[in-house]
Amino acid sequence: MDPLTWTGNLSFLNLPLLFVTGLFVLLVAAQIVIWLISAVTNTPNADGTISSSGGGLSGMAARATLWAFYALVALVVAYVVLGALLGQSGGILGAMSQQFLPVWIALIVTYALSIRFKRKLGLYGKLFDSTVGMIGFGIVMFWTYTAVFSGVFDMIATHEPLSQVSGMKNKIPGTPLRGAEEGEFAFYLLGGDNLARDVFSRMVLGSGIVMVIAPLATLFAFMVGITLGLPSGYYGGKVDTILSFLANLILAFPVILLFYLLVTPEIIESGIPNYMAAFLFVFPLIFVGVLVNSRFHTQPQKNLLYLVISLGVLGIGYLTVISDQSTVIRVLPASLDRFDIEPGILVVFVSVVFVNSPTVFRIVRGLAMDIKTRDYVAAAQTRGEGPWYIMLWEILPNARGPLIVDFCLRIGYTTILLGTLGFFGLGLSPESPNWGATINDGRKLLSIYPHPALPPALALLSLVLGLNLLADGLREESLRD
């Protein structure tokens, strides 16, 4: 079988793409130049506004840029759609596009529904008013759906992440498998790595690891940060001094040194990460418990019911997660302890939560200090509400805007941290297809064979970029309120 080329039968689109991209870049540059020149000729008016004299030219350039942008988007969509239809005759891009078909369908459905009902969806719906937010959301959802379809339904990926095929070591993208069996995918779409594994499948399956750990770890960091940051900002005084000192202590640690100290086998053996997990995982319980209790403590029966349900579920989850027969913490008997996290993942999770929570703490503390001077807080105090009710049901909902934005940014940052851990070979097992470890694997032969390291690097870059753009869009839209 012949090796696949990059674009195959789609190659008629290459020349237009090159042309339109060049045109777009030129137009943007031209617009900036026109703007800079016209900035000098602007005349200030008496009311503090400025009237521009070069409007005609810059208006034309702006329209042209917009058209070029639409043409660019149309071409990219053409690659994806035609690729999905043509499959392998559309080259590597076509075959990849066909593999991603479930993701495309899910994305189209999501966007169609969201845009149709965007006025009823609150802040999420407003996201679809900003171009930046829509692009960011699209990229994030692309990786989310990839993670779901490849991890849960076993689609998209073409080979097993660990299967090695003889003769495929360091082969360039599009190389056909020698003697592929019936029903087996006949190509290594993005080539083979130095252990003859499929780069494309490893990149796709790596998304699953990131998309599970990063948002969850960020959520836990937020629980810790909120539970400690609210009282710190609300009460001030000694509580604040002590907690802030501790937070600054962790923040003063160089992150990589902390990782190396926490994630070495000797430390894992001593059980410190398990104790830290036991400590950090309590915070969601405290948070939910206080949340329910502060709201319903005047209605004892309802209060008891809600508390028992929420804490019961969380408590069982907590016990099964932290208790592990192979480590120091054995709370539950083995017969009840059905669920263990793989030790590598637990350590990575704990250290990422640990590094992130002081920053969240500082943000929440700052917000609480600002909001506690508002009138509605004073009103609640006069009503005789308890301090925790005010913190969780008055201050927290009013701080949600900046917190949601920071949550998106922080998932991106957590993704970068996970990559760093993988890059130094800490935590997760070296065979696991997580992006950081794959980049680390690929970098050793980078100057001869760049193809194994580049796909995970670009994947990580695009996910973090998507999250940043999404945060930017959300910030813009929440400020507009």
Partner 1 sequence: MGLFILRRLGVMILTALCLTYIVFTLTNLYPNLEKLAKTQGNFRMSDEAVTSWLDKRGYLQSTPKKYGEWLGVLPSKQFIDDEGKGYGRCTALADDPTQAPRFCGVLQGYWGQSTVFKDAVSKIIGIRLGLTGWLMLTVMCVMVPGALIIGVLAGMREGSKLDRTLSTISITSTATPEYVSGVIFIAIFASSAVGLKWFKGTATSAMEDITFANFTLPVLTIALYGMGYIARMTRASMTEVMTAQYIRTARLKGVSFANIVLKHALRNALIAPFTVIMLQIPWLLNGVVIVETLFNYKGFGWTLVQAASNNDIELLLGVSVVSVIVVLTTQLISDIGYVYLNPRIRIS
Where do contacts with partner 1 occur on this chain (CB under 8 A)?
Answer: 28, 31-32, 35-36, 39-40, 42, 44, 46, 48, 50, 62, 245, 248-249, 252-257, 260-262, 264, 266-267, 269-270, 272, 412, 416, 419-420, 423-424, 436, 439-440, 442-443, 446-451, 453-454, 457-458, 460-461, 464-465, 467-469, 472
Q: What distance lies between CA 261 and its chain's CA centroid?
A: 26
From CA 233, how far away is CA 460, in angstroms rounded? 35
Question: How near is the Cβ of 251 to partner 1 at its closest, in Å?
Answer: 8
Tell me the helices (H) and strands (E) count for the chain, helix number first: 20, 4
Strands (E), 149-222: 175-176, 187-188
Closest separation in Å from C-beta 288 to partner 1: 30
Written in H, E and C, the secondary structure of 6-71 is: CCHHHHHHHHHHHHHHHHHHHHHHHHHHHHHHHHHHCEECCCCCEECCCHHHHHHHHHHHHHHHHH
Shortest gap between Cβ of 39 and partner 1 (angstroms)? 6
Place of tokens 């009902």: 117
Residue 138, Ramachandran bin (φ over 0: left; ψ between -120 and 50: alpha; else beta):
alpha
Tell me how crowded residue 367 is: count the other CB atoms within 10 A of its CB.
23
Are residues 291 and 392 in contact, defined by beta-carbon separation less than 8 angstroms?
A: yes
Nearest to partner 1 of 14, 264 (CB atom): 264
Nearer to partner 1, 6 or 424 (CB): 424
Q: How far is the CB of 415 from partner 1 (least distance, A)?
A: 9
Please, what is the minimum distance in Å from the beta carbon of residue 461 to partner 1? 5
**Which letter does DSSP use for residue 176 in this model?**
E
Query: Please, what's the b/e burial string for 181-211 (b: 16 or more CB within 10 A of its CB; e: otherwise)?
Result: eeeebebbbbbbbeebbbbbbbbbbbbbbbb
Please say which residue, 48 or 237, places its beta carbon nearer to partner 1: 48
**Is there a contact between 103 and 156 (Cβ–Cβ < 8 Å)?**
yes
User: CA-CA distance, 164 to 197, in Å (whole number)?
Assistant: 5
Q: Which residues of 34-69 are buried (b: 16+ CB within 10 A; e: fewer)?
A: beeeeeeeeeeeeeeeeeeeeeeebeebeebbeebe
Q: Cα separations (Å) of 61 from 10, 132, 396, 409?
A: 31, 21, 46, 34
Smallest gap from residue 99 Cβ to partner 1 (A): 23
CB of residue 216 vs partner 1: minimum separation in angstroms?
A: 20
Residue closer to partner 1 by CB (options 41, 382) is 41
Shortest gap between Cβ of 42 and partner 1 (angstroms)? 7
Nearer to partner 1, 57 or 108 (CB): 57
Task: Tell me how far, at minimum, the Cβ of 36 lies from partner 1, in Å.
Answer: 7
> Do residues 8 and 88 lie in contact, with contact meaning Cβ atoms separated by under 8 Å?
yes
Q: Rounded to whole angstroms, how far apart are CA atoms 358 and 222?
A: 9
CA gap 298, 326 in Å, rounded: 44
Q: Which is nearer to partner 1, 161 or 422 (CB)?
A: 422
Q: Which is nearer to partner 1, 76 or 249 (CB)?
A: 249
State which residue, 285 or 465, has the beta carbon closest to partner 1.
465
Nearer to partner 1, 1 or 32 (CB): 32
CB contact at 8 A, 394 and 170: no
Comparison of 297 and 443: residue with beta carbon closer to partner 1: 443
As measured in angstroms, the least distance from the Cβ of 440 to partner 1 is 8
Backbone angles phi, psi at 121, to 5 degrees: -105, 15
